[in-house]
Amino acid sequence: MVLSFVQPLKLLNATTDSRTTNGVPIGMNSAVVDYFTSHGVRVMLSIGGITCTDAWNTALAQNATLLGQRAGALASQLGVGIKINYEQSAGPNLTGLQAFIDAYRAAHPYDVSGTDPTARLTIDVAAGDRWLIALDQYATAHWLTTGAPVGRVLNGAQDVAVTAGIDYWVTFAPAAKADGAVDFSRWGAWEESVACLEARGLTDREDFALDLIGAGRPIPAQGLMFLGWFTEKAMTEVDDILVRVRVTDRVGDTHERVIALMKGAIRSPQHPDPPPF
């Protein structure tokens, strides 16, 4: 659930008027948020919108860092995530926007587990190739992935699912195969996958992590389950790791998904992130 819209300049100035309290619309309060979260619905607040482009530009120019800090404080106050809705298609203030994000992330770092609602920071980059192009390009270069790729599976249903089984298929980079590494020829267990990575000189929970997930592990409604994490060193050895996850829903139906953990990974990140554990 995304509640719209917080006007960015009013948030920066902590404005109180007939419709706003400390920069926040009066309808965006704890009672409203608690109603949705008590029914298992995640809540985010959208800052901006097409009618707030000038307000975004002014707020970013005046004090982008303070705006990010106030957004972070608002997220803490209500226990919500934040959606950036900055609709400046031509010449957006990317420096200011980055300062906003840096300030927000200083208060709410990225959460690999997905359990901290305040760590959910997203941005609307529109659809197609005719709108918000500069934002799209900047997002692709700087925000599309964490410094080290993190794999997760999302239960998008409104009820809990239970893990029925999980398998792995490891394939190695050409240089590693030239050095003797052998791709899996079948789905393998967690122990086999970890062992083959360690055989390449990689250290578990230092160079990579594959979460040990057993049958019966629940995935809460709208919840994320951590699957894996890899450093640049690991990505020079591994081409990809496929994870086959099978879950059973509340009525007993079985669902299966295959996740490619390295899909879209930046293998030589400029700013690697620390381990997520």
Model pLDDT for residues 83-108, shown as the tens digit of each residue: 999 999 999 999 999 999 999 999 99
Residues of the chain above pLDDT 90, percent: 54
DSSP H helical ranges for the chain: 8-13, 30-37, 53-78, 94-107, 133-142, 174-178, 190-198, 232-237
Show me where the domains of the chain are located.
Answer: 2-144, 151-260
> What pLDDT shows up at residue 144?
58
User: Does 174 have pLDDT greater than 80?
Assistant: yes
User: Does 161 have pLDDT greater than 80?
Assistant: yes
> What pLDDT shows up at residue 23?
97
112-156 pLDDT, tens digit per residue, is 667 899 999 888 876 555 678 888 778 766 775 555 555 565 565
- Classify each residue of 22-43 as buried b or exposed e, where b means 16 or more C-beta atoms within 10 Å of its C-beta: ebbbeebeeeebeeebeeeebb
69-85 pLDDT, tens digit per residue, is 999 999 999 999 999 99
Q: How confident is the model at residue 223 (pLDDT cuts 50, 70, 90)?
A: low
Residue 91, both tokens? 């010449």
Q: How confident is the model at residue 222 (pLDDT cuts 50, 70, 90)?
A: low
Residue 179, both tokens? 């050095």
Tell me if 246 sits within 8 A of 165, measured CB to CB. yes
CA–CA separation, 118 vs 139, rounded Å?
Answer: 20
Mean pLDDT on 168-193? 95
Q: Quote the Cα angle for 85-90-95, to 5°.
A: 65
